[in-house]
Amino acid sequence: MQKRELGSSNLEVSPLGLGCMGMSQSYGVPPDKQAMISLIRAAVERGVTFFDTAEIYGPYTNEELVGEALAPVRAQVVIATKFGIKIENGQQVQDSRPERVKLSVEGSLKRLRTDVIDLYYQHRVDPNVPIEDVAGTVKELIAQGKVKHFGMSEAGVRTIRRAHAVQTVTAVQSEYSLWWRSPEEELLPTLEELGIGFVPFSPLGKGFLTGTIDEKTTFVSSDFRNIVPRFTPEARRANQTIVHVLRNIADKKQATPAQIALAWLLARRPWIVPIPGTTKLARLEENIGAAAIRLTADDLREIERAASQITIQGARYPEQLERRTGL
């Protein structure tokens, strides 16, 4: 696979990364750890160099998994992790105070079995800590050689600008796909202006854009999608229209709906690097195959024309989670 540069940072990664969260949480019972280590190493063998985790995933166990899997090839890969959320009385609580960030980085370095974190994201903007203090703390960590690049997740454009003025922001991570296009309004133009890379998570709509989920699909009780308004049976039935658009293009390209959804993202900007997650080798290979698909101007116009006539049903998050985004 050819490489992509995240903005103007000189941080080069594979055009598709691997989101590792689902290997430890959110989508039902976590798979066998050794199987996931094998999957991560299979991704490396197939050219993936960009791996995404977070302190809170698991919690804490996902970093350990990623660290163990990548230890033999550490010099060949880029590891991104996140700080700013802790567990307090069984609940996730935002905490980006400088002393907390400095504590977090030490734990992440240890769990990831590395002496430097390539890309360190603030997981969510903390309304109680000025972003200048957060960016200044990461700037210190970069000066100390513990971190190479600063990132932000689900941040609004004003906050990104304020942070970027203190410490260059290399990448911003937010949800983006054909069924969540809000980043196009303000975020993408701002990132282009500032030379910041964009890392879409949930680029396959939490699995929906693969075409394998319909209104009859059931999820195990521990699956996060059970509480997502966009995944009610009624919403899933209504939202099949966007999958039909992808399937029409996929049939012409001898591809899958998931591959077209990813290829569409890759065609949006050269500094966009989606991070689809999976726990299955076949899906990993399918996703990687998207990097070789070239959508023509006619393909893109056809997708745009069809998508513009579709209104996606259901909120992307329950209200209490949506409140934590885009400050």
CATH number, position 130? 3.20.20.100
Q: Is residue 216 part of a domain?
A: yes
What is the rounded distance in angstroms from the CA atom of residue 7 to the CA atom of residue 118? 15
Tokens describing residue 61: 């166990």
Tokens describing residue 5: 């540069």
Question: Could you tell me which of 115, 105, 107, 317 has the C-alpha nearest to residue 229?
Answer: 317
Residue 82 has pLDDT above 90, yes or no: yes
Residue 1 has pLDDT above 90, yes or no: no
Residue 245: pLDDT band (50, 70, 90) is very high
What is the rounded distance in angstroms from the CA atom of residue 108 to the CA atom of residue 195? 27
Residue 187: pLDDT band (50, 70, 90) is very high
pLDDT at residue number 261: 98
Q: How many helices (H) and strands (E) does the chain have?
A: 12, 11
Q: Is residue 115 part of a domain?
A: yes
Question: Could you tell me which of 209, 187, 208, 327 has the C-alpha nearest to residue 269?
Answer: 187
Is 57 designated active site? yes
Residue 29: pLDDT band (50, 70, 90) is confident
Tokens describing residue 255: 């591809």
Residue environment code for 74-90, b if the CB has 16+ CB neighbours within 10 A, otherwise e: eeebbbbbbbbbbeeee
Average pLDDT of 276-285? 98
pLDDT at residue number 28: 81
Q: Is residue 327 part of a domain?
A: no
pTM: 0.97
Total tally of structural domains belonging to the chain: 1
Average pLDDT of 259-282? 98
Residue 326: pLDDT band (50, 70, 90) is low
Average pLDDT of 220-231? 94
Whether the CB-CB separation of 210 and 237 falls below 8 Å is answered with no
Whether the CB-CB separation of 191 and 198 falls below 8 Å is answered with yes
Q: Is residue 254 part of a domain?
A: yes
Q: H or E stretch including 315?
A: none
Q: Is residue 312 part of a domain?
A: yes
Return the percentage of the chain with pLDDT > 70, whole number. 99
Phi-psi region of 13 (alpha: psi -120 to 50; beta: other; left: phi over 0): beta
What is the rounded distance in angstroms from the CA atom of residue 130 to the CA atom of residue 139? 14
Whether the CB-CB separation of 48 and 3 falls below 8 Å is answered with no
- Annotated active-site residue in 57, 120, 121, 176: 57
- Across all residues in the chain, what is the average pLDDT? 96
Contacts 24+ apart (CB under 8 A), 297-306: 299/249, 299/252, 299/253, 300/264, 300/267, 302/248, 302/249, 303/178, 303/245, 303/246, 303/249, 303/260, 303/264, 306/245, 306/248
Phi-psi region of 45 (alpha: psi -120 to 50; beta: other; left: phi over 0): alpha
pLDDT at residue number 23: 97
Tokens describing residue 252: 């012409």
Average pLDDT of 222-243? 95
What is the residue range of 195's domain? 4-322
Q: CA torsion angle for 56, 205, 46, 55 (degrees, to 10)? A: -10
Whether the CB-CB separation of 250 and 238 falls below 8 Å is answered with no
Average pLDDT of 190-207? 98
pLDDT in tens, 99-155: 999 999 999 999 999 999 999 999 999 999 999 999 999 999 999 999 999 999 999
